[in-house]
Structure 1
Amino acid sequence: MAGCRRTAKIAREIHMLYGFPHCVAIADGTLFPLATEPQTEDAPDYNGRKHAFSLSTMVVCDHKRKIRYYLAGYPGSAHDNRVFKGTELKKEPHSHFAHNQYLVGDSAFENDWFVVPAFKKLPNMPLGRDEEQFNTKLSQL
């Protein structure tokens, strides 16, 4: 991703349309339901939040919803941040992002120099006005 003319164009368009300078991608996890229970010892791990059995997949796309990267195969019970930690993007960020480039994601992600997550609401604590506005703007992207 880093240094590529394509990512520079994506960053310009995201900045112009959504106001996020140097943002080159959006990341989110998704579940793919399985038709049957896996025939493995770890089958209970595939019991996801939304489906009886599923695979958890990390998808990274651009602002036009074109998939630029994905990692599939984690059990459905795997948290999005755990799956993200298994990606080459997380393991070798300098190979994928220029020093000022980053991706955005929901509050499941940990903040990093190349990851800007939504603000997480703490129990019994409302988000501040600025944090709410940021999250709203991020969700539009």
Structure 2
Amino acid sequence: MLLLTLRFYATGAFLNTVGDIAGVHKSTASKVIRKVSHAIASLRPQYINLPEGDEIREVNQGFYEIASFPRVIGAIDCTHITIQSPGGENAEIYRNRKVYFSLNVQAVSDHKLRIRNIVCRWPGSAHDSHIFNNSTLRHEFQQQVHGNNILLGDSGYRNRNYLLTPLRNPITRAENLYNEAHIRTRNCVERLYGIWKRRFPVLAHGMRLQLRSIQCVIVATAVLHNIACDEKEEVPPVDADVMI
């Protein structure tokens, strides 16, 4: 069951193809993938969380060493995960601005390209800032759960005292240096998405599963990605066909 599911993650193949390789029917393959993905995704509290205690200083220092940007606890952005049309009256809300069906997934990366927070319940048409504004993560930062630490986001987010974005029209040398440091530091999350999708091509090639199962697959691959980072697995080579 585990090997069949990992084969699906690694190829993004049709269920009948994955089932044929394992010698089971397409419907059985679907049930196996759903069950195993749910089991792996249930490990989320253990493997996906923002740093606490002494680890905060380690993460702050890791980000600071990139471009001298202080107090950063994570870089935030969203990425689209391709899905088939879910059908029904609300199907079109899953069509994104690039005209394909997707889930818009929000994640926070640390300096080691580990996934520290993930939200994967919003349709492709949802704007990045809307996802963040309705997230538990925003509430935590508003309540200062994470102290004076900050997130870095792109210009699609609203600038806040806990989420810093680039300056739109930098003029002075200091403003240009700020933008340069911001871009270099926030680049971690973009690199994360590239590695995550190369490690699990099903995220780039699309899934023909029910939405609930797709959400489990996304979280499960996030858990496995963090385990791979902890075990210092080799980073997958660049694939021109993988969409970030």
Q: Identify the TM-score tier after normalising by the shorter chain.
A: 0.7 to 0.9
Alignment of 1:86-105 (within 5 A): 86-93=134-141, 94=143, 96-98=145-147, 100-105=148-153
Structure 2 CA distance for aligned equivalents of residues 3 and 37 of structure 1: 39
Corresponding residue SS for 2:181: helix
Distance 1:19 1:50, change over 3 A: same
Instruction: Determine which structure has more spread, i.e. the larger CA radius of gyration.
Output: 2
Gaps of 5+ in 2: 1-49, 186-244
**Given that residues 104 and 117 in structure 1 are in contact (C-alpha distance below 8 angstroms), is that contact kept between their aligned partners in structure 2?**
yes
Q: Select which of 95, 107, 120 maps to 1:59.
A: 107
Match of 2:201 in 1: none
Q: Select which of 42, 54, 60 maps to 1:11.
A: 60
Structure with higher RCO (Cα < 8 A, 6+ apart): 2
Q: Select which of 178, 182, 195 maps to 1:134.
A: 178
Match of 1:33 in 2: 82
**Given that residues 56 and 73 in structure 2 are in contact (C-alpha distance below 8 angstroms), is that contact kept between their aligned partners in structure 1?**
yes
Shift of 1:10: 0.4
Distance 1:41 1:88, change over 3 A: same
Structure 1 CA distance for aligned equivalents of residues 166 and 181 of structure 2: 10
Structure 1 CA distance for aligned equivalents of residues 117 and 99 of structure 2: 24
Structure 2 CA distance for aligned equivalents of residues 89 and 103 of structure 1: 10
Normalised by the length of structure 2, the TM-score is 0.51
Paired residues, what number? 134
The answer to whether the aligner puts 1:49 opposite 2:97 as a matched pair is: yes
Percent identity over the alignment? Answer: 27
**Given that residues 2 and 95 in structure 1 are in contact (C-alpha distance below 8 angstroms), is that contact kept between their aligned partners in structure 2?**
no
Over the aligned positions, Cα root-mean-square deviation in angstroms equals 1.9
**Given that residues 59 and 67 in structure 1 are in contact (C-alpha distance below 8 angstroms), is that contact kept between their aligned partners in structure 2?**
yes
CA deviations on 1:13-57 (whole Å, 9 max, x unpaired) are 2113321111110000111011x2112322111111235101001
Amino acid at match of 2:76: A
CA deviations on 1:69-105 (whole Å, 9 max, x unpaired) are 010121101111001112211022236411x210101
Corresponding residue SS for 1:81: helix
Shift of 1:110: 1.0
Structure 1 CA distance for aligned equivalents of residues 98 and 53 of structure 2: 37
Shift of 1:3: 4.7
Which structure has the highest strand share of the two? 1
Gaps of 5+ in 1: 121-125
